Structure 1
Amino acid sequence: MTATNSFSTAPASPWRARLERPWVKWGLVVLVVVLAIVVPLLLPEFANQTLARIGVFSVAVLGLNVVMGYAGQISLGQIFFVGLGAYVTAYGYNAGWNIVIVFVLACLIPAVVGMVVALAAARLGGLAIAMVTIALPIIGVPLAKRFSEVTGGSQGTSARFSAAPEWSGLYDDQWQLYLVILIGGITFLLTRNLVRGKYGRAFAIVKGNESVAASMGVSPYRFKVLAFTIASLIGGVSGFLYMVVVQYTSPETLNFGHSIELLASMVIGGAGSIIGSLIGGAWYVLLPQVTNIIDPNLTTVLQGAILLIVLFFLPNGFVSLPRLLRRIGRRDAPQRSVAEVPQHTEE
């Protein structure tokens, strides 16, 4: 009995214990802030633009992670809310509205649409919700083409409002990256606080078992709607940032294929993980560039092959890689310790 208890209370990882120290946490925060300020000034234009796009789609993956990774609800239409936020941004700016009001509307309108969809679909089963969310980008593309006076039709629409102001002394790519870092960083921070608080615990209970959640007084319906609404709002934030960086949107932005790519990016980064959302955004942007360098004619095949290979070795995404390495290290440690024990012989 004593032996069993001694094994069950294994000591925490020394690296984890060090990271939990307050001065280490604040040191990491200061380091991240300094890097966020300095890096855009040092990198070339292409690198800044690539980092900005990674930030845009990391926010999009973050929204998908809220509803799927944390709340466990199937959503295959996240790209619709990204595109809707982009269209609201373009229309508002071209209509002469204040950019702050445009940003607020780019967040609120997707959130309201997402809440309406969730109110109607959240009582349905998982596959039924999936079918409803699949319909969003599918109907979004023809709607964007039809209402050409608002969306620009098949040609799309542009909004060039993110040029660096003269007083900043910055290039456009630097200014845009700073905007993405600021708005995206705040979005990540607020989402992290949300999922680590009581709402995050409620999402986890609903994800685990809806019947148990109901017996504990946690309404599955209410928190499904809440998760979907928050994910839609974050999609709107991503759509605004998309216009900051790309400055152009068209019906192609709403293409259902992009929703599948966002889903794959979330899984590759790590479902239910803030860091995994950042990794997923990098995967979404960088993988097509890498496969194009290898062979532009086999881009889709290469992307699928790489996806399968990664998931075979890391089924929980890249965020689980440190855990896997620690497990391998613990498995090898007893073998090393036995090998190092000196062998005594009787004389």
Structure 2
Amino acid sequence: MASASAVWQRPWVRWAAVLVVLVVLFVAPLGLSEFTNQTLARIGVFAVAVLGLNVVMGYTGQVSLGQIFFLGFGAYVTAYGVTNDWNIVLTFALACLAPAVVGLLVALAAARLGGLAIAMVTIALPIVGVPLAKRLSDFTGGSEGTSTAFAKAPEWSGLFDDQWQLYLVLVIGGIVYLLTHNVVRGKYGRAFAIVKGNENVASSMGISPYRYKVLAFTIASLIGGVSGFLYMVVIQYTSPETMSFGHSINLVAAMVIGGSASIVGSILGGLYYVLVPQLTNAVDPSLTALLQGAILLVVLFVLPGGLVSLPRALTRGRRRSRAARGPAAPPTTPSSTTGSGTAAEQPETERQGHA
């Protein structure tokens, strides 16, 4: 009988699984409550943000503590474009490209650095972004923030607003995930992995660590802008607090808990970012930070590879338990027992016959 891994390697099984997932994603929003749809949409928003962070940290091994800045920047560009009645496609394009340009400029200056140095540069992004957003009140609304409600369901769709917004997140987020998957599984992904492993080895192979670190950081910034656009689709409000350093640290924790260098791990990271604070607040709002820190430590000790490594950990556990029990004893059949007994008695019988 074929093993589960062998069955999964068959192309038709994979395509069938993809088709089932697509059907579930298409049908599910129609039967869920408004609160559930909104929660799923929020998970999708931050799953995209974690995906961008995973590109630069998980796949390329560079420390980035400012990903939330690009989400907030994309949200502000979206809000400004909608408020000034820009074309929504143009608004979306600028919400993606403006953070990507800023990320490129930062990467050009910081990618030659390494370790803590580049971490310090990225820390400056949210630290500078918050007071800058407060000061540029004509564009950002200042400390009060700005709100927009542009993602209402069109009449021809027959959908409620929460359903329409969830579909937007699924479609745009799904495209981003598909494109990112192709990047990290192709030649760029292989170059990212070599740079992450050893920059000297990468240089000896003709791979420029500087070039690929800049590329990874720019891609992460662009994906952050996409998540900022989706943030305004779902949350419909942003303020300087959106770009706070605490939220940036939470994104890093979500990436680590979900699983570094993993597409699926980014989705699990989005789940953690949205659901765990709700659960800890339900337990005791005053202990939210403590409980989240405890969850992070437990996951790191039990599953160093994040939640995405849980199936592999369970498989290894089963193999170790089988090895501890040792090989099974060979079965004893009546025929072999009888045969061995007859052979043992035969010499005595022959001696009696000679006698």
TM range (shorter): over 0.9
Counterparts of 2:199 and 2:307, CA distance in 1: 29
Bigger mean CA offset, 301-310 vs 69-78: 301-310
Counterparts of 2:40 and 2:76, CA distance in 1: 22
Misfit runs of 4+, over 6 Å: 343-347
Counterparts of 1:327 and 1:240, CA distance in 2: 41
The code of the aligned residue for 1:156 comes to G
Counterparts of 1:290 and 1:39, CA distance in 2: 23
- Residue 39 of structure 1: which of 28, 35, 59 is its match? 28
Question: What are the equivalent positions in structure 2 for 1:142-291 lying under 5 Å apart?
Answer: 142-291=131-280
2:303 pairs with 1:317: no
The code of the aligned residue for 2:181 comes to R
Counterparts of 2:93 and 2:329, CA distance in 1: 64
Of all paired residues, the percent bearing the same amino acid is: 72
Which has the higher Rg, Structure 1 or Structure 2?
2
The code of the aligned residue for 1:79 comes to I
- Alignment partner, residue 133 of structure 1: 122
Length, aligned pairs only: 335
Following superposition, the deviation at residue 124 of structure 1 comes to 1.1
Cα shift readout 1:261-295 (whole Å, capped 9, x = no counterpart)? 00000000000000000000000000001111111
Question: What are the equivalent positions in structure 2 for 1:59-98 lying under 5 Å apart?
Answer: 59-98=48-87
Q: Secondary structure at the match of 1:73?
A: coil
The code of the aligned residue for 2:66 comes to G
Counterparts of 1:209 and 1:81, CA distance in 2: 28
Cα shift readout 1:211-247 (whole Å, capped 9, x = no counterpart)? 1101100000000000000000000000000000000
Counterparts of 2:286 and 2:329, CA distance in 1: 53
Counterparts of 1:189 and 1:34, CA distance in 2: 17
Following superposition, the deviation at residue 297 of structure 1 comes to 1.8
Structure 1: runs of 5 or more not aligned: 1-12
Q: Secondary structure at the match of 1:286?
A: helix
Following superposition, the deviation at residue 14 of structure 1 comes to 2.1
Counterparts of 1:94 and 1:237, CA distance in 2: 18
Structure 2: runs of 5 or more not aligned: 342-355
Counterparts of 1:29 and 1:316, CA distance in 2: 25
The code of the aligned residue for 1:284 comes to Y
Counterparts of 1:167 and 1:112, CA distance in 2: 37
Alpha-carbon RMSD across the aligned residues, in angstroms, is 1.4
TM-score (norm 1): 0.94
